Amino acid sequence: MSIGPGEWFTEVFQDEGTAFSLQMRRLCHEEQTPFQHLAVYETETFGNLMVIDGCVMLTARDNFLYHEMMSHPALFTHKRPRKVVIIGGGDCGTLKEVLKHPGVEEAWQVEIDERVTRVSEEYFPELCTANDDPRANFFFGDGIQWMRDAAPGTIDLVIVDSTDPFGAAEGLFSTDFYRDCMLALGEHGILVQQSESPLLHTNTIIKKAHREMREAGFTQTRTLCFPQPVYPTGWWSCTMAARANPLKYFREADADEKPFVTDYYNKDIHHAALAMPEFMKRALAEDDEGMPPYSS
């Protein structure tokens, strides 16, 4: 897609009748990888923009919201997270946030498309500052198979930093995948997955995630909401699941005294994100299978 200076990149959400646009300065990079079409643009006000298959993945200006909320709430909910696995996350922003935690001893980024990581290293170097950390490990291949092959009870936290639940990513939003994650997690392990827009997807993707996580054997699920301007509606979410670790548990003192800098996340944001809007409570309580769909 050729977009010249001053022109606009627009992502149209046809099913919802909405769209989002950013004014461009130039096309920085474009290629067809073995898996998808990948492009990077320089925008007028949001820094560099990554687009995959015509969909906005991230910008330099606002990605911190997503990456911090995909990592820190779950890390500060686990009592002692030492081994973390990120499924997807090829831009390395979530890996960077995870490795800010000195207690993390080992982090794996399992990304199907190595080109996303290599392009990020060139055009989003600020997200890749932890790539040379000795605790960082990279596997470029199928995340579904990687989780299926993981040794039982060996992981503390699984972060599913995936694209939308379509195409190759659809299997990351399934009972079978959640069950593989549960088996790989230790007794107090936590799964967290990006779960789309509360405004658009509570009755579909989010509700389905709660149900299928429960069907996989997780006893607790909670959805956290946070702003994300470049994603549909500007309002996004992630959903956590656990068996034994209470998802209300929060190492608040550790979060308050964290030995690293964040731009959005803090202890008050953590508490606020756990507060579920009334329309979401109603929707998730109306579970067709008669299964309690979330932890109140």
Q: Where are the alpha helices (DSSP H) in 138-247?
A: 143-149, 175-184, 198-201, 207-216
- CA pair distance 216, 158, nearest whole angstrom: 15
- CA pair distance 251, 267, nearest whole angstrom: 9
Q: Which positions are catalytic? A: 161
CA dihedral 216, 175, 231, 46 (to 10 degrees): 80
Q: What is the DSSP letter of 275?
A: P
- CA pair distance 49, 29, nearest whole angstrom: 10
Query: Is 48 within 8 Å of 26 (Cβ atoms)?
Result: no
CA dihedral 254, 255, 256, 262 (to 10 degrees): 140
